[in-house]
Amino acid sequence: MHPKPGLTCEWPITNFFGMAPTSTIRQTAEQRREAVLRAAMIEFAQGGLDGTSTQTIAARAGISQPYLFRLFPNKKALFIEAIQTANQQIVAKFEAAAGTTSGQDALTAMAVAYTELIADRTFLLLSLHGFASCGDEEVRAACRRCFRDVWYTIERLSGLDPDTVRQFYATGMLCNVITAMQLDDVDERWAKLARPGDPRESKPEGK
């Protein structure tokens, strides 16, 4: 059942519960927490909050399902931490990409960074599932914080006006759904047109 062998040892020594003993390889709770968080990001990105079981996440992280609840208070808290972590990485990537540039140059650099994020899919799908689960109050609050942080990051790094920032953000949201629908696998006219072109050869304003 466990997808990550080598963690539980093979010899079937039976103890009180008749269970196989754990391997001698132990990690700190902090290491496990990070492993669970990584696993959660991948799994939640695919199935969302309600469509992903804690068992699935625990299995990917290589721990038992109950231990997950020692590391995180509940499933929703893990979900929220996952989307926040993903968001922080997006912000960090934007800052690294923009560097010391500003204005349209910074915007283009961030657009390039975003297309690199798309390659992973995890980040975009995760934020999409965050928005979709905004029916929940705590998730909604977290999504608002994430949105705000990204907004101010774009604004601060580029120094451009709200209309431009909004348009940039909107394009990002379009990228989200294009990624979700896997439109790069669709070889039809509308699908190709919907995908934004390479940001490095785009025109700043209008045609």
Partner DNA sequence: CTCAGTTGTTAGTGACCAATTACTACTTAG
Partner DNA sequence: CTAAGTAGTAATTGGTCACTAACAACTGAG
Interface residues toward DNA, by CB under 7 A: 7-8, 13, 15-22, 24-30, 32, 52-56, 62-67, 69-70, 74-76
User: Which of its own copies, DNA, none does 173 bind, CB closer than 5 to 8 A by kind?
Assistant: its own copies
Shortest separation between residue 6's beta carbon and its own copies, angstroms: 29
Please choose, from the candidates 74, 165, 179, the residue with its C-alpha nearest in 3D space to the C-alpha of residue 126: 179
Residues 6+ apart with CB under 8 A from 36: 57, 58, 61, 63, 68, 71, 72, 78
Shortest separation between residue 131's beta carbon and its own copies, angstroms: 5
User: Which of DNA, its own copies, none does 17 bind, CB closer than 5 to 8 A by kind?
Assistant: DNA
Shortest separation between residue 17's beta carbon and DNA, angstroms: 4
**Count of beta carbons in the 10 Å neighbourhood of residue 41:** 23
Residues 31 and 77: their CA atoms lie apart, in Å, by 18
Residues 6+ apart with CB under 8 A from 162: 155
Residues 67 and 192: their CA atoms lie apart, in Å, by 45
Shortest separation between residue 84's beta carbon and DNA, angstroms: 17
- The tokens describing 6, both together, are 């080598």
Considering the complex, state which of residue 63 and residue 111 has its C-beta at the smaller distance from DNA. 63
Shortest separation between residue 70's beta carbon and DNA, angstroms: 6
Burial of 126 (0-12, 13-18, 19+ CB in 10 A): buried
Considering the complex, state which of residue 55 and residue 182 has its C-beta at the smaller distance from DNA. 55
User: Which of its own copies, DNA, none does 5 bind, CB closer than 5 to 8 A by kind?
Assistant: none
The residue ranges that bind its own copies (CB under 8 A) are: 46-51, 125, 128-129, 131-135, 140, 143-144, 147-148, 151-152, 162-163, 165-167, 169-171, 173-174, 176-177, 180-183, 186, 188, 190-191, 193-194, 196, 205-207
